[in-house]
Structure 1
Amino acid sequence: MGQRTPLYQAHVALGARVVDFGGWDMPVQYTSVLDEHHAVRRDQGMFDVSHMTVLELTGPDALAYLRHILANDVAKITLPGKAIYSLMLNEQGRVLDDLIAYAPTPEQPELWRVIVNCGTHDKDIAWMQRQAASFRISLKERTDLAMIAVQGPNARATVAGLIGAERAARIAELALFQGVDCGDDWFIARTGYTGEDGLEILLPSEQSEAFWQQLVDAGVRPCGLGARDTLRLEAGMPLYGNDLSENESPLSSNVAWSIDWGHDFIGKEALLAERDAGVSHQLVGLVLEGKGVLRSHMRVIIEGVGDGETTSGTFSPTLEQAIAFARVPVTNATQAQVEVRGKLLPVRIVKPVFARRGAAIR
């Protein structure tokens, strides 16, 4: 038996199929991945993401510490509660994890929130504690909180109708990628991992099941990890352990945009050397021309260029075609082949983003 979120019994009661995910017993689907995927793209769906690690950072050196350990620069944030996507790198410039950091709010002006992946929990906390030795900071894990992501074009309106007038007024003013303190340990952010508008809600664990049921009663479809994966892949969002890892450079993983070269951070020197020497590989998108399904670790052949490998793959419900991310030699080629069960199938090479805001962009 794995770890369980405060919403585990609610998932079981709804008939979810539960699987192991990074040591957690999590719902992979309730009805079908296809139905859950379309619900988010066209209406609204919700995910239990309480397995994510929620860290709170305080202390007079909090800003300097985050600038030291993150490749993106939190010092450029000017909006209260603003979220920033960043990589956390080792000295060799390889990715320990990708994460979201939230700037302090007027209600808690000394508090930074950092959300990291569940599968890297032990490694991340050990690394962050080790780097904290020369900084006056305190790092606290909030294991008493649950986290629910409500995503889709109707998600914000539905949540607003359930949380009371004062909280609804606060979230109505949120910019994209911004969070707000809503009192009593509620923190609501306009963020997500689907490519749709929506909210991610931190709340006390003991209140999570009742709120989940309110969302169900309001018509929000519960969704599992299966739909979360197809949605994030369509939206061009990487998954740590597949598309990002300690074995690969961020410069060859389509996340170089998140590196702010104007400040010093762990791994910068190694990345500069790599950048100056020239990057040999890139992460691209693939669209299968015919029938079939693309998965991770499939061989990709680009004639006259070389071989690569898929890092993530799925059937895209929005495009109604198989899609994938692949790490391949740097090239301007637009066509390739993927080896599927001993056969070479033709694919188009595209930018690694396929659908957002309810529509295909390929």
Structure 2
Amino acid sequence: MAQQTPLHASHIAAGARMVDFAGWDMPVNYGSQIEEHHAVRRDAGMFDVSHMLALDLEGADAKAFLRGLIANDVAKLTESGKALYSCMLNEQGGVIDDLIVYFLSDTSYRIVVNAGTADKDVAWMQQRLAATGTQAKLCVRRDLAMIAVQGPNARAKTWAALPGAEAASAGLKVFQAAAFGDIFIARTGYTGEHGFELTLPVAKAAATWDALAAAGVKPCGLGARDTLRLEAGMALYGNDMDESVSPLDAGLAWTVDLKDESRDFVGRAALVAKSASKQTLGLILEDKGVLRSHQKVIAAQGEGETTSGTFSPTLEKSIALARLPLGVAAGDAVEVEIRGKRLKARVVKAPFARNGKALA
């Protein structure tokens, strides 16, 4: 039986269509996925992301441990609440997961990992803690729920729903978080829009969801979340990268920090030994059809493959992220093989849309 988030009853009461996602019973939409998508681009929408997992790492060696665990360098984090996006790699340089780390102090960090990889991630971290003899403890926080509020009016409507939250969070910059009582408010998201991700006690989840709805924030499901993140050029674990794919090939080289040559992290040697063999770019389909994942792309420089694809409500065209041969550039014409036919597409740089505007 699929697991349920603390907001499951709220979704059922709102008439959500529920689907199994990574072993969780989650809302895919509440009626019109297109309307939910536009609500986030134009106003404010909210997503239940409680299936994702928060982990707290605390101890004298917490900073040193993370510097050796992930490809980005947490030493760059010096201000409490500041966050960092990174990949956690295996020894071969493949991506075990992509995650966010929040710096609370040199001995205290919060890590948020994906739902589908949560158990694997915890096991890997515990294994590394034991192998390195680290003086730090990893705490699994299933006592917390998470709600993402996204869109140009998301912050104002969150403040209307949570009296007092504005004073605690108005000055937050992107990828920065602060505590508001027992609510952790972060200026992060997965849509390409401004907004917050709220981490809060399970007991407060339903009332907070209802307060946000009363403030005019539209409930949105996984369907809109996927079209929004793809328009924003954001990678999805399992589609755009996995344990067989290097971040260098997945368009995530910017998350790898090799500046400090004395810092050794899991997968570093593999990345240094092998440069990128592919690149990740965007595609816009010019013929009629729909781009999906794992479709062959034919370019003058060789063959590639779409990794994520969908219909873009903002562009009103089919779009995709694709892993393409080196040498392919924005503006190039390529063909995508769909159901035995080769359809014309144009290469672009992602993102396709962000902050309410079409960019491609």
TM range (shorter): over 0.9
**Residue pairs, 1:161-310, within 5 angstroms:** 161-165=160-164, 167-184=165-182, 186-261=183-258, 262=260, 263-275=263-275, 279-303=276-300, 305-310=301-306
Amino acid in structure 2 at the alignment position of 1:250: P
User: Deviations along 1:96-116, whole A, 9 cap, x unmatched?
Assistant: 0000000106xxx74210000
The Cα shift of 1:321 comes to 0.6
Partner of 2:311, secondary structure, is: strand
Contact persistence 2:152–2:194 (CA under 8 A): yes
Partner of 1:25, secondary structure, is: strand
User: Deviations along 1:230-257, whole A, 9 cap, x unmatched?
Assistant: 0000001000000010111111100000
Partner of 2:248, secondary structure, is: helix
- Matched residues in 2 for 1:351 and 1:131: separation? 37
The Cα shift of 1:52 comes to 0.2
Contact persistence 2:57–2:137 (CA under 8 A): yes
Say whether 1:13 aligns with 2:16: no
**Percentage identity across aligned positions?**
59
Amino acid in structure 2 at the alignment position of 1:161: A
- Matched residues in 2 for 1:110 and 1:62: separation? 5
Equivalent in the alignment of 2:137? 138
Equivalent in the alignment of 2:148? 149
Amino acid in structure 1 at the alignment position of 2:16: A
Contact persistence 2:30–2:220 (CA under 8 A): yes
The Cα shift of 1:126 comes to 0.7
The count of residues paired between Structure 1 and Structure 2 equals 353
Partner of 1:164, secondary structure, is: coil
Equivalent in the alignment of 2:334? 336
Equivalent in the alignment of 2:157? 158
User: Deviations along 1:308-355, whole A, 9 cap, x unmatched?
Assistant: 111100001111110001112112351110011111100011113211
- Matched residues in 2 for 1:341 and 1:297: separation? 12
- Matched residues in 2 for 1:190 and 1:57: separation? 21
Amino acid in structure 1 at the alignment position of 2:306: T
Equivalent in the alignment of 2:50? 50
Return the match for 1:318 from 303, 314, 317: 314
Q: Which runs of 4+ in 1 moved over 3 A?
A: none
User: Deviations along 1:17-46, whole A, 9 cap, x unmatched?
Assistant: 000000000000012111000000000000
The Cα shift of 1:264 comes to 2.1
User: Deviations along 1:55-81, whole A, 9 cap, x unmatched?
Assistant: 001000000001010100011112210
Partner of 1:301, secondary structure, is: strand
The Cα shift of 1:274 comes to 0.5
Partner of 1:265, secondary structure, is: coil
The Cα shift of 1:162 comes to 2.1
Partner of 1:170, secondary structure, is: helix
- Matched residues in 1 for 2:211 and 2:180: separation? 18
- Matched residues in 1 for 2:20 and 2:191: separation? 21
Say whether 1:359 aligns with 2:324: no
Amino acid in structure 1 at the alignment position of 2:337: E
Partner of 2:117, secondary structure, is: helix
Partner of 2:25, secondary structure, is: strand
Amino acid in structure 1 at the alignment position of 2:114: N
- The alignment's TM-score, normalised by the length of structure 2, stands at 0.96
**Residue pairs, 1:82-101, within 5 angstroms:** 82-101=82-101
- The alignment's TM-score, normalised by the length of structure 1, stands at 0.96
Across the aligned residues of Structure 1 and Structure 2, the Cα RMSD in angstroms comes to 1.1
Amino acid in structure 2 at the alignment position of 1:54: A
Amino acid in structure 1 at the alignment position of 2:338: V
Amino acid in structure 2 at the alignment position of 1:158: K
Say whether 1:112 aligns with 2:106: no
- Matched residues in 1 for 2:199 and 2:295: separation? 37
| Consecutive unaligned residues in structure 1, runs of 5 or more | none
